[in-house]
Amino acid sequence: MFGEVVRHSIQSVLVTLDGDGDVRATLLAFGDAYRARLLSPEGLAIFRTMAAEAPRFPELAKQFFRQGPYTTRKRLAKYLAQAMEAGKLRKDDPDFAAEIAHENGAGGGLLPARLCP
C-alpha cells in the first residue's frame, strides 16, 4: 500500500518545463511552479513521509527520487542544453547548471517548512 502512495506522490512533485520563447521567463516560471509544489501541503507531507519511511523502504525512496526530483532535474538539464545549443545561454555543463538551479529553486524557507508543520 505504501508503494502505491509513493507512485501517486511522484506525480505531485513533477514540474513540466514549457517554453520555446524567453529563457528567463521560462526558468522563472519553472522555479515558481517547482517551489509551489514543494511547499504545498501535499509536497511537504510527501517529504516528511519519505524522510520518515526511507530507512524502512529504501527501494521506494530511491524510486521516488529517480522518478520525481531526479526526473525534474533531468528535464531542466535538457532544456538548458537546448537553450545553450540555440545560443540563448552561454555554453557550459547543462547537468551541473540544472543541479544548481534545481537546488536554488527549492531555496530559502524550504527546510523550516519541511521540518516545522
Instruction: Tell me 89's DSSP state.
Output: S
**Integer Cα distance of 62 and 4 in angstroms:** 14
The CATH number of residue 39's host domain is: 1.10.357
Alpha-carbon torsion angle 62, 66, 72, 75, nearest 10: 160
Average pLDDT value for the chain: 81
In the prediction, which pLDDT does 116 show?
A: 56
Lookup: cell for 12: 505531485
Q: Which residues contact 115 (CB under 8 A, 6 or more apart)?
A: none
Domain encompassing residue 13: 2-115
Q: pLDDT, tens digit, for every residue of 92-115?
A: 999 999 988 877 766 555 555 555
Number of domains in the chain: 1
In the prediction, which pLDDT does 89 show?
A: 93
Q: What is the mean pLDDT of residues 6-15?
A: 72
**Integer Cα distance of 35 and 96 in angstroms:** 19
Lookup: cell for 59: 527501494
The model carries a pTM of 0.79
Beta strand ranges found along the chain (DSSP E): none
Q: What is the mean pLDDT of residues 52-76?
A: 85
